[in-house]
Amino acid sequence: MKAEQINLIFNQFTHKGEFESYQELVSGHINDTYLIKTKKKPYFVLQRINQGVFKDVTGLIENKVAVSDHIQEKLKDLPKKKLYRRVLVFVKTKERAPYYQDNSGNYWNLMYFIDDSLTFETVNDIEIAYEAGKLFGDFLNMTSDFDTSKLIEVIPRFHDMSFRYSQFQSAIQSVSKERLYKAKSCIDRVMDLKEEMHIIQNLKEAGDIKLRVTHNDTKISNALFTKENKGLCVIDTDTVMPGIVHYDFGDAIRTICSTAAEDETNLDLVEFNVEYYKAYTKGFLEKMESSLSPLELKYLSLGAKTMIFIMALRFLTDYLNNDVYYKTKYPEHNLDRAKNQFKLIECFSKKYQELQNI
């Protein structure tokens, strides 16, 4: 994108900022995200929502604005400056809409950038694990009284094992010989784990686990921290929708307790850190324990394992489908991600008994 174009879109929104420059933020796999630097702070984050992935973009934006408003209400006693650091605040267009649609049909939304904060792709400090637990736990806590029927299902059956498994099965039907051969060891792993990985799905379908407002993308890079390593704000609320607690717990564990990034190709570097699991769980339960049912609690550790599997399966399926979903940087990027996640499950499984007791 040219600066001129970005500036034009930025100026459709209501703010006092004067555009100075922009920079693409490249850590996400789906949307296009730009940091807008203004002559005088605050800075902003401008985002183009991927319409290939998200079919109801306006519904998505309405979801996240409604949840943000709900959290803002909970934090209303904070001074404005502090409040704007604890929750994403979206900016309206001059037409008072929460998004702008450009001439090519793209949808854009704008939010305040939270300055002086840190994000992590991997964790190297136990305090971050604990703080992340409190932060994501608190997000669920603050949204627990939000009426789930007011949210659309942004991606239908997003963390639904039967759905993900059927997508994998159709991918197997049409995959090239070469990719099938290269993915063989991963496919074997799917077959080994399949039954166990449907346990939570079955409980969900039986109505034994309740639906709540969940974030659905609680990887550690979606949490902001202060320079003193304290939890600050949960970001990337695109996939906020009704879901179960296990996958929010699990996606955080997947990324916090792995000793390497999700696409690390040297699998010797991928290990599972039990101490971080304990610390995250402690923080999470400090915020959530009283609102979890015994069944929800019982299945948290299996939820973590299942979430790692869902990600492995999705990366693998996208590889089998010739990389049509995730942004990739090289031809086998998705396969490497899948192998990495299967290695993480293997490490997790070795420590499973210990983790279940925590």
Instruction: Kindly list the residues in this chain that would bind ligand GN1 in the complex (CB under 6 A).
Output: 28-30, 53, 217, 219, 236, 239, 262, 311
Of all residues in this chain, which one has the CB nearest to ligand GN1 in the complex? 30
Q: Least distance from C-beta 55 to ligand GN1, angstroms?
A: 12
Smaller CB separation from Mg ion, 189 or 333: 333
138 binds Mg ion (CB under 5 A): no
Rg (CA), the chain: 20
Least CB distance from residue 4 to ligand GN1, whole Å?
A: 27
Of 29-88, which residues contact Mg ion (CB under 5 A)? none
Is residue 40 within 8 A of residue 107, CB to CB? The reply is no
Instruction: Enumerate residues 6+ apart whose C-beta is below 8 A from 207.
Output: none
Closest CA to 43 of 3, 4, 16, 80: 16
| Residue 217 touches Mg ion, criterion: CB under 5 A | yes
Phi and psi at 262, nearest 5°, equal: -70, -10
Give the end-to-end CA distance of the chain in Å, rounded to a whole number: 48
**Among Mg ion, ligand GN1, none, residue 29 binds (CB under 5-8 Å by kind):** ligand GN1
- Shortest distance, CB of residue 13 to ligand GN1, whole angstroms? 22
Find the shortest distance in angstroms from Cβ 213 to ligand GN1: 17
| Listed ranges 32-40, 167-175, 211-219, 274-282: which one lies at the site for Mg ion (CB under 5 A) | 211-219
Contacts of 217 (CB under 8 A, 6+ apart): 236, 238, 239, 251
C-alpha to C-alpha distance for 16 and 73, rounded to whole angstroms: 24
Residue 19's φ and ψ, nearest 5 degrees, are: -55, 130
Nearer to ligand GN1, 285 or 313 (CB): 313
How many chain residues interact with Mg ion (CB under 5 A)?
A: 2
Please state the separation of Cα 136 from the chain's center in Å: 11
Q: What is the DSSP letter of 188?
A: H
Residue number with CB closer to ligand GN1 (7 or 321): 321
Q: Which is nearer to ligand GN1, 278 or 314 (CB)?
A: 314
Nearer to ligand GN1, 248 or 262 (CB): 262
Q: Are 183 and 316 in contact (CB under 8 A)?
A: yes
Q: How near is the Cβ of 241 to ligand GN1 at its closest, in Å?
A: 11
Structure tokens that stand for 346 in this block = 């293997």
Taking the complex as a whole, the smallest distance from the CB of residue 255 to ligand GN1 amounts, in Å, to: 8
Distance (Å, whole) CA 252 – CA 81: 28
Pick between residue 236 and residue 323 the one whose CB is nearest to Mg ion.
236
Angle of CA points 192, 156, 213, to nearest 5°: 95
Task: State in angstroms the smallest separation of the CB of 90 from ligand GN1.
Answer: 17
Taking the complex as a whole, the smallest distance from the CB of residue 215 to Mg ion amounts, in Å, to 9
One character per residue 227-266, x = contact with Mg ion (rule: CB under 5 A): ---------x------------------------------
Which CB sits closer to Mg ion, 217 or 336? 217
Helices then strands, each counted (H, E), the chain: 14, 10
Amino acid, res. 172: I
Q: Which residues in this chain contact Mg ion in the complex, by CB under 5 A?
A: 217, 236
